[in-house]
Structure 1
Amino acid sequence: MTRLDFDVEGAAVADTAAAARQMQAMKDLKATNPDLQFSMTLPVLPSGLTHDGVNILKTAKNAGIKIDVVNIMAMDYYAGTGTEMGQAAVSAAKATLAQMQSVDPGYTYADLGITPMIGKDDDGSTFTLADARTVESFAARNGVGRLAFWSVNRDQPCSGSADSLPTCTEISQDSLAFTDAFVPYGGSGGGGTTSDFSLSLAPDSASVAQGGSATAAVSTAVTSGGAESVGLSASGAPSGVSVSFSPGSVMSGGNATLTATVGSSVAAGTYPITVTGSAASGSHSAAYTLTVTTGGGGGGSLTNAGFETGSPSPWTCTGGSTVVTGPVHSGGRSLRVGPSSSGTGECDQTVSLSPHHSCTLTGWVQVPYAYIGVSGGAGSWSNSASWNQLTVGFTTGSSGTVTVYVHGWYGQSVVHADDFTLG
C-alpha cells in the first residue's frame, strides 16, 4: 500500500474527535512507512474550504503531521445553474491553498488535489469539456499535486434523467472525452521516473506605491523523479520596475524570495508579470500581478496594504483582529477587525511622509460602522454592508509622521478591510 485517502463528507467534516483519531493513525503508520502518502478529500466552495475543513488541517498540524494531498471536491456548490464550473474550481483551488498556507506555510500547490464532477452536477450546474481544459491548464501551470474527476464510469453520453447521473454525464460528448481532456496532465501521480517540479508564489499579487517595493515567497516542489536545479527569472515588468530573486536558483523543493522594486517615475497601473522556473526537465511559470499606485511625492507608503502576507504585521492590532481568507475585496486575504462590548477594535500603522504634504488615504471596508482615519482627526466612516471605498484627505505636519488606522465601534459587528492606498 502506497496511498490512503480519507473522503470526509457531510456531518463527518465537523467530527473533530474522528479527525484527531485519523491524524494519529496516519502519524503512527508513517512512522514505520514514511513513503505512505496520506490524502484528505474534503468539500469545498469557490471561496475555499468550509470552517470545519480548515479545522481538519489544524488538527493535522496539532498532531504533528502534514497532509500529503488536500483533495477538494470541486462540485455541488448549489450556487445556481449559471455557475462557470471551470473558473469556480480554479477559484476554489486558489482559496484553499491560501487556507492551507495560513495553517502551515510549507504547503504548496503540489500538496493540493482538484476533483470536479464531470457533466451534469447534482445541483443542476454543468462541468463542460471547456471547463475540463481550464482546470487541466491551471493544474499544469501551477504543479497541482493531483488532478482527478468523478467518475470514470460517467465519461460517456446518455439521454437519461437525474437517476442516470452515476452512469453518464447527461451532456453531448464522445465517450472518454473528459479522460482525453485530463490525460495531458501528469502531476505527481504518474508512474514514470522523469524529473519535474512545481512553482508557486505567495502572495501572487502586490500593491506598491511609486518608489516602494514588495516581496513574495517563491516555492518549488519535486513532483516526480529527483531534485534538479531550477533557475528563476521574470518577464513582463514595465520599464522602471526591477524584479530580482534571492537566491537566483534553487534545487527543486527549495524556496527563494522575489523582490519587485518600483521606480518613482513608473506610471500607476496594474502590470502582469510572469515568474518562470527553468530546469533540465522543462519550465513552469506562475503569474504575479503588480499594482503601482501614485506615491504623490509623499515619501512613504503603507506596507502589507492588502494583507496578503497572511498576518497583520506591520499593522498593530488590538485583540480579536486578524487576517482572514474571506470575505475579501481582492486577492486572497483581508483584515478582520473585531470590536468588543467595550472597545472599538483597531489596527494601526505608522508611516513617515514628507512634512506639510497633502495626501489621500483610501481603503475598502465591509459591514456597517467601519471607520478609517489618520492621526490628528481626519477620518471617514461607512454604514454599508457591502464592500465600499472610503477616502480621507489630510495634510502632514512638521514631522511628516502619521498613524493610519481602521476600526469598528464597540458592541457592533466585526469590520473587514482591504486594499489600502496612501498617496
Structure 2
Amino acid sequence: MAGVDGGWEGRGADVVVFGTCEIDMKNYSEELWKIWLARPADRKFNLICIVHNAGDFGWAEKYSGDWARVGALRILPISQHVVNAQRKNFINFADAPDRYHLGYSHIPVEAHIPILPIERFSGFTAHGKHTGQYIFSPGGDGFGELRTDVSEVEGGVLDRTWGRRDGKMLRDVCIQGNFEAARRNYVIIFADLEAELDLDPSAWGYLPPTSPSAPFIPADADNFILHLAGNGKDDFVPSRLKRVVLIHKALSYPDFFSLMGSMDMVLPAFKDGGGYYDRQASSTVAMAMQCETPLLVTPRILEAYSYLTPKTTVIRPQSISEVSALKILRTSRFAPPALGYTHDVERSYDDASGSTLQKEGGEVVEMHASVRREAEEMIARGWTTKERDWREFKKGIREKNREVAKRIVLDM
C-alpha cells in the first residue's frame, strides 16, 4: 500500500484498481480506507472494483458502505449480465432503511471487457506441439497399440502435432476451466459423446468399438479430440473415452495461450444453474475471443455475453446439444432428434421432407420447422472466422473500453 500514497512523483495514486473485488476488498479495503481518510480533500482517490461474480456479494455487505457514501467507488464487471446482477444487488441494498444514507443506487456500474486490442500471437497459427495427458494409459489397455500415423504415446502422454486448420474438418475442441462438474456439463457431454461415437464412430474419425465396453480407437489422423484445459481431479472421464479426451494441466501461460489459440473451437459447456448465464462471467468466453478461437454458443449465451458477435462465434440452435452440433459441423449433415428420442432407439430420418423422425414401433414424430433451418444456417456459416472479422470485433471492444476508461479518468 506504500505506493498508493508515496509513488508517482510524490502525489500518490489518483485511482486504485482491484483486479478481483471479491477477494481484494477483504484483504485491502480497511487499510486503503485509512489512507483515503488521511488524504486532504483535494487529494482523494477513487476505488475501481473489477467484479467477476455478482453472486459473491459478501465483500459489498462488509466493506463497500464507506466507499459508497463518499462517492469514491466504481464497479467494473467483466460482462453485461454481471453488470445487471450487480445493479440489482445495489438496488436491494439501497432499499434497506439502515443503508438509505449510503447512496448505493448511485454507484456507477458498467462493463469493461477483458480482451486486449492485440492480434493473435504468431505462435497461435503455427503447427506446434502441446503435450497432453490421457486419463488412462492407452498402451496397456488390451485393445492394441495406437496407430503410429495418428499419434505417439509414451506412458499415457500424447505428443501430437496440431494447430489451427481453418476450413478443414473440425478436429480439436477445447473445454477450458477448472474441472468442476457443478459449473460445467462434463457428465452430459461425455454421455452424449459416447452415445454419438457408438451410433456413428466414423463421423468422428474412430473405428467401430469391438464391444459395448471397449474404448474408441482412432481410425485416421483427423480423429476428433476433446481437450480439457484446467486443473482439478480428472477422474470423471469415462474409460471408453480414454483416447478421445485429452487432459492439459498446470500449463505455463505461453503454453496455455498457444493451446487455446491452436484449437478449432472452444466449448463453453455451461451447466444450467452454475451461474454463468446470470451472475458470473466465465473466463472461457473472453479467453476464446482473446485467442481468436470461435466459441460455440446459443442465443442464451449471446444475450448474457452481449459483447459477443455472430461473426466471432458459432451459433447452435438452443434445441441441439453441444455434441450434436459438433457432429453437424464435422459432417455438414443434420439428422434432427425428436423429443423423447434416445440413441438406444434405432431411427430412420426422412431427409426428403426434413421434418419427421421414425421411432421404434413405427411412431412418426414431427420436428419443429425452425430447428432444421437453424441447423442449416449453422452449417452454411461454418466454424471459422475471417481475419477482418476478428480485427473489427477487437476494435469495437477497444473503443467501448476506452469510453469506460475516459469516464474513470474524468470521474464522470
Relative to the length of structure 1, the TM-score reads 0.27
Higher relative contact order (CA 8 A, sep 6+): 2
Higher strand share: 1
Higher helix share: 2
Relative to the length of structure 2, the TM-score reads 0.28
Q: Which is higher, the Rg of structure 1 or of structure 2?
A: 2
